[in-house]
C-alpha cells in the first residue's frame, strides 16, 4: 500500500475521532484541552515528516528540491509552534487568551517566510524552464478573486479589530497578519496548481493541488480564528481545530504525492 493511501486512512480516522471528541467532550474539559493540543501537534508533525520524505526523494540539490526544502522548513516551524503552544498551555498552565500573542505565535509568523520563499521559488523555476504558463486571463481572475477576498476580510474583520480600543496593538498586528499572510501564500500556490495542470499528467499537478487545498483550509481557519479569538469565543474543542488539522493532512499528502512523483521519474 502506498504511503499516501495509508496517510488518507490514518488521518481520516484521526479526524473522525477528533470530531467525536469535540462533539461529546468525552473525558471532560481538562481531557479535551490535552486532546486538542496534542492532536494538533500530531497532525503538524505528520505533515512535516511527509514533506521530509518529499525532500529526501530528490537526489540532486536543484531549485525544485530547494523549493520543497523551504516549504518543509516552514511547516516544521509550524510544528514547533504547535509544540510550544501545547507546552505553554498543558505544562506551564498559561491562559492562552491572556498571553496572546504567545511565543508560539512568533514561530507561526516566522514560518510564512520560508513557505512564501519556497512557493515563489517553484513558480519562477517553472517560468524560466520554458514550460507553458497558461492564459493571462487565469492570472487576472486569480488576482481579482484574491483582491475581493482581501477586501471582504479587511472590511468585515480587520477594520473592526483595528478600531477595537480594548485590543492591544501587538495583538492587532498578529490578528491582521494571519489572514493576509495566508492569502499571500495561497495566490502563488493556486497559480502553481494551474501551471502544472497544463502538463497533461495528473500526477504532476497533484502535489500542488493538495498543497493549495491545505493552505486554502488554513486561510479559512485563520480568518475564523481571528474573529472568534478577538471576540473571546475561541478555546479548546473549537471546531476550527478540525480545519487546521485537515489543512495539515492535505499538506502532508502533497509531500507524499511529490515523493511518489519523483520516484516515478526515477523508474522511467
Q: What is the pLDDT of residue 75?
A: 98
What fold does the segment set 3-266 form as a domain?
Answer: Rhopdopsin 7-helix transmembrane proteins (1.20.1070)
Residues 242/15, Cβ–Cβ less than 8 Å: yes
pTM of the model: 0.92
Residue ranges of domains in the chain:
3-266
Q: What is the pLDDT of residue 252?
A: 97
Q: Mean pLDDT in runs of 10 for the chain (268 residues)? A: 88 96 94 96 98 93 92 98 97 91 96 94 81 79 84 85 89 88 85 77 80 90 86 86 96 95 74
Residues 253/23, Cβ–Cβ less than 8 Å: no
> With b meaning 16 or more CB within 10 Å and e meaning fewer, what string describes 54-72?
bbebbeeeeebbbbbbbbb
Q: What is the pLDDT of residue 35?
A: 96
Cell for 101? Answer: 500573542
Q: What is the pLDDT of residue 158?
A: 83
DSSP 226: H
Q: What is the pLDDT of residue 267?
A: 54
Amino acid at each position: 500500500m502506498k504511503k499516501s493511501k495509508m496517510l488518507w486512512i490514518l488521518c481520516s480516522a484521526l479526524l473522525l475521532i477528533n470530531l467525536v471528541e469535540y462533539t461529546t467532550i468525552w473525558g471532560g474539559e481538562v481531557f479535551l484541552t490535552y486532546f486538542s493540543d496534542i492532536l494538533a501537534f500530531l497532525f503538524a508533525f505528520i505533515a512535516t515528516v511527509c514533506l521530509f520524505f518529499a525532500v529526501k526523494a530528490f537526489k540532486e540539490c536543484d531549485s525544485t528540491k530547494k523549493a520543497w526544502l523551504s516549504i518543509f522548513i516552514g511547516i516544521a516551524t509550524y510544528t514547533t509552534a504547535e509544540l510550544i503552544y501545547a507546552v505553554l498551555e498543558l505544562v506551564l498552565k498559561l491562559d492562552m487568551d491572556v498571553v496572546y500573542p504567545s511565543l508560539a505565535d512568533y514561530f507561526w509568523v516566522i514560518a510564512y517566510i520560508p513557505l512564501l520563499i519556497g512557493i515563489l521559488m517553484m513558480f519562477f523555476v517553472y517560468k524560466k524552464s520554458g514550460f507553458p504558463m497558461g492564459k493571462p486571463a487565469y492570472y487576472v481572475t486569480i488576482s481579482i478573486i484574491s483582491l475581493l477576498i482581501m477586501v471582504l476580510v479587511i472590511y468585515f474583520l480587520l477594520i473592526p479589530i483595528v478600531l477595537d480600543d480594548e485590543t492591544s496593538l501587538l495583538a492587532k498586528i498578529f490578528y491582521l497578519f494571519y489572514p493576509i499572510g495566508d492569502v499571500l501564500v495561497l495566490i502563488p500556490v493556486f497559480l502553481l496548481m494551474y501551471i502544472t495542470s497544463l502538463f497533461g499528467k495528473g500526477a504532476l499537478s497533484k502535489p500542488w493541488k493538495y498543497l493549495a487545498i491545505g493552505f486554502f483550509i488554513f486561510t479559512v481557519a485563520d480568518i475564523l480564528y481571528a474573529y472568534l479569538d478577538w471576540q473571546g469565543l475561541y478555546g479548546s474543542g473549537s471546531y476550527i481545530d478540525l480545519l487546521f488539522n485537515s489543512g495539515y493532512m492535505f499538506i502532508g499528502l502533497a509531500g507524499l504525492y511529490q515523493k511518489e512523483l519523483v520516484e516515478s521519474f526515477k523508474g522511467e
